[in-house]
Structure 1
Amino acid sequence: MFRRTPTRTGRPLRAGAVVLVLSATLAACGAEAADEPGASSPGRSAVTGADKLEACPATPSKPPVGNGLPDVSLPCLGNGPDVRLADLRGPLVVNVWAQWCGPCRDEAPYLAALAKSGKVSMLGIDYADPRPELAVKFAAEQGLDYPHVKDQDKAIQRALKVGGPPLTAFVNADGAVAYVHRGVLTSQQQLDQLVEDKLGVTP
């Protein structure tokens, strides 16, 4: 699970960071070879500016749960290991977005504010996006200060019934998807109320 303590690369994840205590989930975002034989190093993204994003922390493997996130591993958009979604536990908010998606830009301030509250973990999924360098720029400029992964091949499409971004999933402490909001979030109040109603957390 991701830790809920705000952090940056190499530090514990913010609550906004994904329950992904990430130590809630992830194996090499464009992994580089270790500096020394036998030594391990966090995966590093080849995308320019990736170091400005929250790093994806490694998380212990957990068995998939019924009605949980799909059992797929996605590479980190920033630095850090791949994230296996089935390992993640909540309270967690997963937002599916893309830099080419206008409504994603509209709802970004609400997600950024929720992340700053530190009350839940958060994970972004950059979906079907052909320009990862622009995705990195988008996340950094919008202040989406939590880990993000890339799903260029639409690996989550069937499991979460993704018609297109934006989509926001609310994952409870048991790892089950408690609710999926399809479409743009229209206000901070709406997002905060969903977090309270679906996850039992008051932002």
Structure 2
Amino acid sequence: MTQRRLRPPVRRYAVLAVVVLALLAGCGDQKAAAPGATGGNTGGSKVAGADKLVACPSTKSRPPVTNGLPDISLPCLGNGPDTRLADLRGPLVINVWAQWCPPCRQESPYLADLQKKAGAKVKLIGIDYDDPRADEAVKFAVEQKLDYPHLVDQDKQARVPFKIGGPPLTAFVDKDGALVHIHYGAFSSQQELDQLVKDKLGVTW
């Protein structure tokens, strides 16, 4: 008699366990497909408006250099493959920013102007840092006319190697890939940014 009474509850618990597992599996799928997600990217971003950004280029695999960029890979905010920072060579200006950062908005016209003036003499790359809203980040980059590739560092991988307390931050990389200077905080003028490019990277236009 005791065994007969136990069987129905056991069956109910088994069915309940199957239902719970199915629900958990469904939540995992929804999380992976959440709007604005910016995980590993080998093709193109699914964020609205990302196609308006300059695509991230493919880079040649190279060994890290002494005093060079950290050996970390970041996904593209727009279209294009992930980028390994250690593969990059200059003259290059890397600007760390976020759409929620007022000083980043303050200095963005200077970076846009540098890109127009320097042209092919200096490459620019942006890193959208610790930013929970990929859609707003894309909107910011488009509105500010930041017409160069942008990467995403939502997990703050660059925090330790760049000693980031918070954005903005701008790194200067020479033609050999060495990190020659880091400017913390926003630029106060176009002249300040232009002069650093000339002094640290030896580039004039």
TM-score, normalized by length of structure 2?
Answer: 0.79
In the TM superposition, 1:57-136 aligns within 5 A as 57-117=57-117, 118=119, 119-136=121-138
Q: Distance in 2 between matches of 1:115 and 1:109?
A: 10
Q: Distance in 2 between matches of 1:54 and 1:127?
A: 18
How far is 1:67 from its partner?
A: 1.1
Q: Which residue of 2 aligns with 1:23?
A: none
Q: Distance in 1 between matches of 2:147 and 2:75?
A: 17
| Cα RMSD after superposing both structures | 1.1
Moved over 3 A (4+): 28-31
Q: Secondary structure at the match of 2:183?
A: strand
Structure 2 unaligned spans of 5+? 1-38
Higher helix share: 2
Structure 1 unaligned spans of 5+? 1-27, 32-42
Q: Distance in 2 between matches of 1:29 and 1:140?
A: 22
The count of corresponding residues between Structure 1 and Structure 2 is: 165
Q: What amino acid sits opposite 1:64 in the alignment?
A: P
Q: Which residue of 2 aligns with 1:30?
A: 41
How far is 1:29 from its partner?
A: 5.6
How far is 1:202 from its partner?
A: 1.4
Q: What amino acid sits opposite 2:71 in the alignment?
A: D
Q: Looking at CA atoms only, which structure, 1 or 2, has the larger radius of gyration?
A: 2
